[in-house]
Structure 1
Amino acid sequence: MMSGSTVKSSFSSVLPNIRPPKLKRRHLRKYSWLPDVFRVKGSIMGRILGPVLTVTFFAILVSYSATKGYKLVMINSIVPLLSVVVGLILVFRNSTSYDRYWEGRKSFAALIAHTRNLSRLIWVNVGLPPTDAQPAFAKGKTPTSDLTHIQLRKHKADTLRLCLSFVFASKHYLRGEDGINYPDYHGVLPASFARFDEIGYNTQRKTPSGIYSATSNDAIVPGHDGSRSQSGRNSPDGKPDATKRIRVKRSKPQLTDISTPLLQHTHRTIEFHPFADEASIPLPLIIAHELNRIIYGYRRDGFLETVGPAGLNGLTQIISGLVDQLTALERVANTPIPISYGIHLKQCVTLYLFALPMTLVHDLGWATVPVVTAVAFTFMGIEGIADEIEMPFGNDDRDLPLDRYCQDLKEEVDYIIERLPEGGHGLHGYDDGEGDD
């Protein structure tokens, strides 16, 4: 017979192998000034290296021309004027981007808090009513379901996993990832939800695949794989625009490249897709709808009588809070910083950096080159950081670690299901909805 210590040691040796790997992010040490000064990985240096070298090369040309007798000199009063404008624009740009980053973090934290509360309340408050004689005021509220305690517990566990699926679906929706073929959905999203991904499924009419796509009808365009990420969309200038990963989810794509010999060239914008008029809805909203239906079923079958109408209202309010936080996250993802603002900022910084060597070369000579390089690195680095954090829901290292947040929440929900007690089989605590009078 094995002793308690032997069993404990054996369990401890097996536990690391059965736990899912934790998602970790590298953090800076508290007092690591000098190592971080020479650190390249994780810095903005790689992103701005090209523009900085361009400004440095121009400074070299100006310094070399000055040594050959060419007077490429500007008066000192020009640079201070540009410095004030550039400084104000950079400060506003950086604060706006970080505000978007922080707003995304707060909204996602609120989403997790609502999920925790909803999971706890469902696990504790939903229970079988008493099987003995019921009080007189409970007349008409007898349960209409013959579920056993084991069956109800399994149903509640599936409901808790559906709550968790809302957070996972919100993460994929913010990243513009359509479909349900993602590893984090396995064992969490109920298998019955696969029916929404089938062509022709709807309660009233046939609808295309991707009815809960994150990006409207993109999932039904021929040749599009609904299970792949669409987060790499490009802006009109051809550059990947992180703030435009999610388009308006109910807008129909403009198929401007489609033509036919039966029509003239002026009719190239006609939509030929048979499902062009079909609507779409994000997967998180379908999950919220299902959660409301489940809560309604619990109330109808008598599993929420111990908490009364107040408990029912509390559950529905939490579900409404989930949708509210999803909308707040959607606002951050769907509200890009105006492109004209970013263009004007880059133009002002470029004018300043190209005017700076001609102002300093008379007094500094060849020393102008390192000074201009340092200034360019500072200004362009601020712009590069702001550009990276303005859309915090991607997969980059500097984006919010949404995968880690979701993994931590999954471990919490699994712990509730496996170890925490339920609220019991029910007590004579029926509430007739008329108060305490």
Structure 2
Amino acid sequence: MAPSRPNHHHRRPTYPLAHSQRVKPRRWPLVLRFAKGAVHGIIVIPVVLHSLFTVLIVYLDRHVTGNLGLPPTIIPSLSIVVGLMLVFRNQTSYDRFWTGRNCLTTIGTSVRNLARAFLVSARAKDGAPPLTDVERADTERIIRILIAILYAVKHNLRAEWNMPPSAASGLVEGEGGVTTAKAEYYALLPDGLEGFEDQGLGLPLQLTVLIESYIRRGFERTWFHGPQASQMTVQVNGLVDAYGRMETIRTTPIPVAHLIHQKQVLALFNCVLPFATVDDFGWWAVPIVAIVAFTLYGIEGIGAQLEDPFGYDKNDIKMDGIVEDTRQEVMVLLEEWKATGREGTRFY
């Protein structure tokens, strides 16, 4: 007898990556969803307005003038232009989403690689005295800074400027005002660290300077040989490069000329559609126009949401979960390193 297949509706992710994976089974088919993750809220106004405009055209054509209809052949020529513009918008927006996700993976991978290399290499050579408390504290501090870089990247991409002169204040100044920061984030930052975001220095870049300084100290302590230290610097450079590309996505919107023309073309197409359908369909033109407007404005709304994928929307990158998963992984490595150091054994 063949083994039964698992019920995927009740599947749960494994513990690693648990925060960035979906954990709730879908209770309703996606075709019946109109709230969470859908774009209906941002397209309802244009759909209703076009439907009401169609009601007006049908009424005038049926009861007043009787000659408002246009040849239906006008629709294919306009639909080609609308289709091309929507395809360009969605492809561009999803490319920004996909690139942002890959850059976040690059940053997380660099943090994992550097944490692994630091913990394995921060040890005394055979026959040498064990690490001093200062050296162990230095390594623990730098691992926490590595994790803090992930939080700093996340907050800066959301325009949540999060490093006041005193991190102990626990406040973040963002576009929405002052909000309470997560305690675990500030616990990762070194004591006495002063931010310079008001002078134009991003906290992620400031923290990478501390990482580079640790690599230099490790080389001077003979923890790293030259090629290994060079490779670690490459990892830091890759992290900064990925963050720069995410900044480019965040600060470079779709050109306003394209957005204006796209809105105008969409409105023009849906305003012409009632005139091209009123003679053949009568009052049925109202639901037809509503469906077409729902489809076209929905596609445009998806592109608008994916344009900036670093926020809190349901369709944005799950940055909170991804950062939390990486934090948990690296902290487990750090705690194991601390435990093996207390027992006098090596962590490798």
C-alpha displacement of 1:393? 0.5
Q: What is aligned with 2:31?
A: 37
Identity of aligned residues (%): 32
Q: CA 1:387 to 1:27, structure 2 compared with 1: closer, same or farther past 3 Å?
A: farther
Q: What is aligned with 2:202?
A: 282
C-alpha displacement of 1:333? 1.1
C-alpha displacement of 1:190? 1.4
C-alpha displacement of 1:191? 1.8
Provide the C-alpha distance between the structure 1 equivalents of 2:23 and 2:73, rounded to a whole number of angstroms: 45
C-alpha displacement of 1:303? 3.1
Q: What is aligned with 1:65?
A: 60
C-alpha displacement of 1:119? 0.3
- Equivalent residues of 1:97, 1:386 under 8 A apart: yes
Q: What is aligned with 2:167?
A: none
Of Structure 1 and Structure 2, the greater helix share is in 2
Q: What is aligned with 1:375?
A: 292
- Equivalent residues of 1:56, 1:369 under 8 A apart: yes
Q: What is aligned with 1:152?
A: 135
Aligned length: 307
Q: Deviations over 1:193-214 (max 9, x none)?
A: 1xx24xxxxxxxxxxxxx1x2x
Provide the C-alpha distance between the structure 2 equivalents of 1:357 and 1:103, rounded to a whole number of angstroms: 40
Matched, 1:94 2:90: yes
Q: What is aligned with 1:125?
A: 121
Matched, 1:292 2:212: yes
Q: CA 1:91 to 1:24, structure 2 compared with 1: closer, same or farther past 3 Å?
A: same
2:90 partner letter = N
C-alpha displacement of 1:56? 0.3
Q: Deviations over 1:194-242 (max 9, x none)?
A: xx24xxxxxxxxxxxxx1x2xxxxx4xxxxxxxxxxxxxxxxxxxxxxx
Match of 2:254 among 337, 342, 347: 337
Matched, 1:177 2:160: yes
C-alpha displacement of 1:111? 0.7
C-alpha displacement of 1:292? 0.7
- Equivalent residues of 2:154, 2:319 under 8 A apart: yes
Matched, 1:320 2:246: no
Q: What is aligned with 1:188?
A: 188
Match of 1:303 among 203, 223, 229: 223
Q: Deviations over 1:83-106 (max 9, x none)?
A: 111011111111110110000001
Q: What is aligned with 1:18?
A: none
Q: What are the ranges of 5 or more consecutive residues in structure 2 without an aligned counterpart?
A: 1-17, 164-170, 172-180
C-alpha displacement of 1:163? 0.7
Q: What is aligned with 2:177?
A: none
Provide the C-alpha distance between the structure 2 equivalents of 1:190 and 1:328, rounded to a whole number of angstroms: 27
Q: CA 1:404 to 1:85, structure 2 compared with 1: closer, same or farther past 3 Å?
A: same
Provide the C-alpha distance between the structure 2 equivalents of 1:27 and 1:366, rounded to a whole number of angstroms: 43
- Equivalent residues of 2:219, 2:226 under 8 A apart: no
Provide the C-alpha distance between the structure 1 equivalents of 2:120 and 2:261, rounded to a whole number of angstroms: 56
Matched, 1:51 2:34: no
Provide the C-alpha distance between the structure 1 equivalents of 2:116 and 2:293, rounded to a whole number of angstroms: 53
Provide the C-alpha distance between the structure 1 equivalents of 2:158 and 2:231, rounded to a whole number of angstroms: 30
Q: What are the ranges of 5 or more consecutive residues in structure 1 without an aligned counterpart?
A: 1-20, 133-145, 198-210, 214-218, 220-278, 427-437
Q: Deviations over 1:54-101 (max 9, x none)?
A: 000001111111220422111222211101110111111111101100
Give the stretch that moved more between structures: 54-63 or 291-300.
291-300
Q: CA 1:395 to 1:311, structure 2 compared with 1: closer, same or farther past 3 Å?
A: same
TM-score (norm 1): 0.66
- Tell me the secondary structure at the aligned position of residue 315 of structure 1: helix
Map 1:191-340 onto structure 2 (within 5 A). Answer: 191-193=191-193, 196-197=194-195, 211=196, 213=197, 219=198, 279-304=199-224, 308-340=225-257
2:103 partner letter = S
Matched, 1:362 2:276: no
- Equivalent residues of 2:123, 2:130 under 8 A apart: no
C-alpha displacement of 1:154? 3.0
C-alpha displacement of 1:173? 1.2
C-alpha displacement of 1:318? 1.0
Q: CA 1:83 to 1:425, structure 2 compared with 1: closer, same or farther past 3 Å?
A: closer
C-alpha displacement of 1:389? 0.8
2:252 partner letter = T
Provide the C-alpha distance between the structure 2 equivalents of 1:317 and 1:374, rounded to a whole number of angstroms: 53
- Equivalent residues of 1:104, 1:332 under 8 A apart: yes
C-alpha displacement of 1:185? 1.6
C-alpha displacement of 1:130? 3.9
